[in-house]
A and B are shown apart, each in its own frame.
Chain A
């Protein structure tokens, strides 16, 4: 696979206009009981200027949603500040709306009441409220549904109510948090184009749109400017303008090249953000997760890895990640963890946005299930510290059981509580698959499988 020419080499977006929202060195971290802190987002500058649709793109765990919440004032940054027209956001009378992934409509209010509610909060009188809401419902194609309750509507219709509610207050910036990801493909496509139409015709009074998504094509389709986030901790990897004219054609060469370029950015080994070290708090150094003890386990299933490797083998052992995602109809949030996991175990390598299968990966993909488990076990023990530790602890203890809590305590130093649990869940999935250990969910304890030795013996005979 040759290196694709990138027609839109990242040019730093230099906003000439005065930003509506400007974030200055905002960070998010959670304090741990020990001296450590879990850094979620490292110091980041970002501004939203009038006249653009800005897409924030990134894998899960890159803090996209946290970023959105800090920019809207719903969450206060641990350090740094957000300005609304150069005024601190906590004191400014800001005018923004959010369209939520889960719609966040009030099920006990009718469609009309849902749309009226934000106006009510602003003290608009009943007649004007009703008139403006009805007009907005008309705009999003919901006339006739004003008396219905949200649960009577389809997902797409509900999100239309979400849009109507967001737009009725005439926000300066419209924030959208993965607004289409809970919808089916066709409905999402339909809503996207209607949104673009509203934006292009200036039917909506909004000056800027901020879209959080994990769907690369969606970002390229809609945005004038794309910011790609990296993770651990979240930071900006690239920020560039999209020069394609609207309406954009998914099949056109420049479009696919841009998508491919973003994939390349996302899969390229990451460099630590240069401004990560914390200057404001020199005494409590932020520990970078990648320099620490435990790797972050990607949340992928062994079955998924096997499937990916087999597909890769079919394609001659090497393919563009973008094309793989396309073939599988996966979004990056689905595919990247699998790729990362396979890479962690040494089954494949990432080179310039291409995934290349390794020798052990080829062997894994060609083997039958018992042998696959064996290969997985060896790779896991060699590459994954947590699994190695669990296995050692089990072998060392006379009763061959260890409580989950023991390892959670160690992970706790490094990951947020939620992430600890997810790490543990992945470790359990991998460990069970590889027959490294068994997990008693009732007692929350790791145990050594009784039949381990016998099984190994049988396995050995079979070969």
Chain B
């Protein structure tokens, strides 16, 4: 529903079929209860490392459910962790620089290489329950989701306008009130958009890691990822297509039922002084607003919150105004020192052990790793170039046509959320049929993962070029070359860079999955760092795994520092279309 009237918010929206919706909501509650119980019993059961995976399509809903639960738990954990991490970093100047640097590096490390140690640790931590293995996988998805969320929250907090902070401070807001009325709302939009990216990344990792071999141990959890992988391994195309369709269905449903309502809702957190004309619309959100659904939790929340406010107001801390620029050096307590020293010792010990472990890598192995690094580097950049080569002209054409853009942009957005790992099995079978190898296959897989981000951003960029600039270019009869070099490329530059940065991260991540795979009883692989990581996982060679992970992280971080960050700065300063 489009609210044109500026004061429309204050008008009461009439409720159509409220009763029906309320019943539906109640039914959802019951369903949630049942699923909690069944998940609980499964999780607390005896650990079964290899759960047999059925090929029948009727098993799909249950598998989908287990996968969704994993994603949801991992996402919730990431959100909580991201908020606490961002908050801590933003308010503790002493460790701020460290925490941000850690974020920056962790963002660049491909999660899949963490899989074996994480699962081993978790199984050891929770012995005797299925939960151990589950936790390992969830933790892995978590590590793939959390960093950009944390970064987004951190930078939102840091960019809160000074006068807003001062208002909160002069009116003696408690930390609680400041969090809910200033910091959270201010960060909400960033969190929603990053959640979309995060959950897409979560699916990517999930499908890859529900089933894996480590040394002589196999792990296989019931879920969509295992289903797809087993179907591939046995060459069951019917099951494969069905599984793939379910993945798409889930992605589309998440977009429609969760993200669009959230984006539409988060519109009210926009920090702008005028109401903007174009807003994302969501019928689901309208339905929810009309049902009684939010009334009860709202009341509960209020009754829970009021005593907190009263208690907070009575504390000594809330009776004085705190200076925002306290420059007096704070005393370092002995406890803090001890903690710091302990941390240094632990980190030092760990690092030494890891380095000792690295010394077990032989020269030929090192040579192979470096060759692999080169191959993967070339492959990632080839995938990026190919993506950019087709998405830029297509995206610009779509973006200049508003009608087309309105249809194509959401599709590109959904496509970007479909995990490339789900495409892979189908692709692989096709490749094997026509006799292609993994060398091409992995590039195609990276393409599948990367191109949609770029397309989505290029469309947005083309749409953002002001029409008066386009009119100028046709008025002065710019030829095609001039149009592209003077108007279009500079205009979409910031968007293109944003898309390429995201895509590059995705491509590196995909390389781990794409360069090495099992098909029926064959092992397909090509030269590459990702293949080395997988091979090391398969054979339990931790030193190689570690070194490969270090190499891949180094390359990603270096590329970010040397190329992307500079281009980003250029986009921010020179090619920003203001106004």
Contact = CB atoms under 8 A, between A and B. Distances in A.
Interface residues of B, number: 50
Instruction: Pick the most buried of B170, B181, B573: most chain A CB atoms within 10 A of its CB.
Output: B170
Contacts of B94: none
Interface in A38-84: 69, 72-76, 78
A16 interface: no
Interface of A: 69, 72-76, 78, 89-94, 96-98, 100-102, 104, 106-109, 117-118, 120-123, 125-126, 147-152, 165, 169, 441-442
14 contacts: A73-B323, A74-B166, A74-B324, A76-B325, A104-B164, A104-B166, A104-B167, A106-B164, A106-B182, A107-B270, A117-B181, A123-B313, A149-B268, A441-B574
Contacts of B7: 148, 152
Contact of B185 (A89, A97, A106, A441): A106
Nearest to A88: B320
B171 interface: yes
B306 to A, nearest CB: 7
A328 B17 CA distance: 63
A117 B163 contact: no
Contacts of A73: 320-323
Contacts of A91: 320
A387 to B, nearest CB: 24
Contacts of A101: 163
Contact of A100 (B167, B274, B328): B167
Interface in B291-331: 302, 306, 309-314, 318-328
Given A94-B320, A107-B270, A152-B7, A125 B182 contact: no
A75 B165 CA distance: 12
Contacts of A147: 9-10
B250 to A, nearest CB: 31
Contacts of B268: 107-108, 149
B129 interface: no
A361 B166 CA distance: 45
Nearest to A78: B327
Nearest to B321: A73
A93 B9 contact: no
B174 interface: yes
Contact of B161 (A104, A108, A122, A151): A104
Instruction: Pick the most buried of A75, A98, A101, A104: most chain B CB atoms within 10 A of its CB.
Output: A104
A91 B574 CA distance: 48
B9 A100 contact: no
Nearest to A171: B170
B273 interface: yes
B323 A74 contact: yes
A107 B269 contact: yes
Contacts of B172: 118, 121-122
Nearest to B167: A104
B185 to A, nearest CB: 4
B323 A75 contact: yes
A299 B119 CA distance: 62
Interface string B560-577: 000000000010011000
Instruction: Pick the most buried of A91, A96, A121: most chain B CB atoms within 10 A of its CB.
Output: A121
Contact of A75 (B163, B173, B275, B325): B325
B11 to A, nearest CB: 9
Contacts of A126: 302, 306
Interface string B152-166: 000000000101101
A165 B9 CA distance: 21
A76 B323 contact: yes
Given A74-B166, A117-B181, A152 B321 contact: no
